[in-house]
Amino acid sequence: MNKNIITALLVFTSYSIHAQDLKSLFDRDTEITWLGVDFSHVKIIGEFALYFTEDTKDAVEIRDMYFPAWNYLIQGERNKYDFRPMLRKREVFYDIGMIMGINEKTNMDSLKAHSVPRYSTKEIEKFVSAYDFSSVRNTDGVGILFIAEALDKYAVEAYFHFVAVNMETGEILLQDRIRGEPQGFGIRNYWAGAFYDVMHEIEDRYYGRWKEKSL
């Protein structure tokens, strides 16, 4: 067979497999597992404190208190932080143990910053490549997670990367950077409000765009 034809067939096959994998995210029967919010690469911009108080939190407090608090809040209040309408699914499973372990090892020296890092696709791929999915109980279907990029108190905004992963291969099927606006009282609820805003952005705007890409 002609070498050029073989090359063309290989390229076509590769694209078809990727497209089919992406389509699985939108198949109502595909099992979806929520893996958590990865804060290990997040940048905190501005003083992390309760408003109108001097109760500023240092890096260790942010990691040890709030990283788990946000993940437990999302898992515990499933009626509010409901991924099912966001992804048009009947059921979503939860397994945040792997991400919680990663968050515990966050480098304190790089947590606070003066600007939003704007992580590239390659950087997100590098972060995900370090995950050990063997620790997740259910490796069928698609895993979804958020990689937190920045919590910016000055600009009153946060950025998260939505990531969908093939649980068997670790391949990223989809990733997108989304802005959220914080809201609520207290440090935990205020920044959890940004995550809640991102979820509604996905449900109302991003989901339709993503689905078109899979066709």
pLDDT of residue 185: 86
DSSP 135: G
> Quick one: three-class SS letters along 90-113?
CCCEECCHHHHHHHHCCCHHHCEE
pLDDT of residue 150: 97
pLDDT of residue 52: 45
Cα–Cα distance for residue pair 63/40, rounded to 1 Å: 9
Cβ neighbors of 65 (< 8 A, separation 6 or more) are 57
Cα–Cα distance for residue pair 87/68, rounded to 1 Å: 24
The identity of residue 50, as a single letter, is: L
User: What pLDDT digit, counting tens, does each position of 108-141 carry?
Assistant: 888 989 999 999 999 999 999 999 998 999 888 9
pLDDT of residue 215: 83
Q: Which of 49, 50, 67 lies closest to 58 in space, CA to CA?
A: 49
Phi-psi region of 94 (alpha: psi -120 to 50; beta: other; left: phi over 0): beta
User: What pLDDT digit, counting tens, does each position of 151-188 carry?
Assistant: 999 999 999 999 999 999 999 999 999 999 999 888 89
pLDDT of residue 55: 60
pLDDT of residue 139: 86
pLDDT of residue 214: 86
Token pair, residue 155, equals 């600009």
Q: Are 158 and 152 in contact (CB under 8 A)?
A: yes
Q: Is 185 exposed, middle or buried (0-12, 13-18, 19+ CB in 10 A)?
A: exposed
Cα–Cα distance for residue pair 185/72, rounded to 1 Å: 17
The band of 10, judged by pLDDT with boundaries at 50, 70 and 90, is very low
| Helix axis angle, 67-76 to 186-201, nearest 10° | 60
The band of 80, judged by pLDDT with boundaries at 50, 70 and 90, is very high
pLDDT of residue 178: 98
DSSP 56: B
Q: Is 58 helix (H, G, I), strand (E, B) or coil?
A: coil
User: What pLDDT digit, counting tens, does each position of 13-64 carry?
Assistant: 333 334 448 898 999 889 999 999 999 999 999 887 655 445 667 888 899 9
pLDDT of residue 149: 98
The band of 84, judged by pLDDT with boundaries at 50, 70 and 90, is very high
Task: Identify the helix (H) or strand (E) that includes residue 69.
Answer: helix 67-76
Residue percentage of the chain with pLDDT more than 70: 87
Token pair, residue 24, equals 């699985």
